[in-house]
């Protein structure tokens, strides 16, 4: 079963990305094939070197975990709009395009949007 996650919200301030990544990890744990596409403010979830207060969830660690077993793509236009460069991304994340998102959407058995 292939599942595509499309995340849009900023990494912190809401829990939508947190919950989307939690579900992606849970599905991977059940053997599902998972792709995650970060758009809009969600591209910041894949920024390396996030520093957070003690006890706060860290989306950088969650993104890395999902990327180890699946595909983690970021909207290149959204990255450019936010000044995020390829060199600032966590290992396993990569710049992508809307055309590639369209291909992944057509190929996925499920598409979940957060």
CATH of the domain at 22: 3.40.1260.10
Number of structural domains the chain divides into: 1
Could you tell me the pLDDT band of residue 55, with boundaries at 50, 70 and 90?
confident
Closest CA to 89 of 24, 42, 44, 29: 44
Residue 1's pLDDT is what? Answer: 86
DSSP 57-101: --HHHHHHHHHHHSEEEEEHHHHHHTT--GGGBPTTEEEE-HHHH
Stretch 46-67: mean pLDDT: 93
Domain that holds residue 101: 2-113
- pLDDT, mean over the chain: 96
Stretch 81-107: mean pLDDT: 97
Q: Which residues contact 40 (CB under 8 A, 6 or more apart)?
A: 8, 9, 75, 78
Stretch 90-94: mean pLDDT: 96
Stretch 9-14: mean pLDDT: 96
Residue 95's pLDDT is what? Answer: 98
């Amino acid at each position: 079963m292939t599942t595509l996650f499309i995340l849009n919200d900023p990494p912190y301030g809401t829990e939508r990305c947190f919950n989307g990544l939690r579900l992606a990890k849970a599905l991977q744990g059940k053997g599902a094939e998972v792709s995650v596409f970060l758009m809009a403010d969600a591209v910041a979830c894949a920024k390396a070197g996030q520093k957070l207060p003690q006890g706060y969830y860290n989306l950088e660690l969650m993104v890395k975990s999902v990327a180890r077993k699946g595909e983690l793509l970021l909207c290149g236009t959204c990255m450019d709009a936010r000044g995020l460069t390829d060199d600032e991304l966590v290992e396993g994340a990569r710049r992508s395009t809307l055309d590639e998102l369209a291909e992944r959407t057509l190929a996925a058995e499920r598409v979940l949007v957060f």
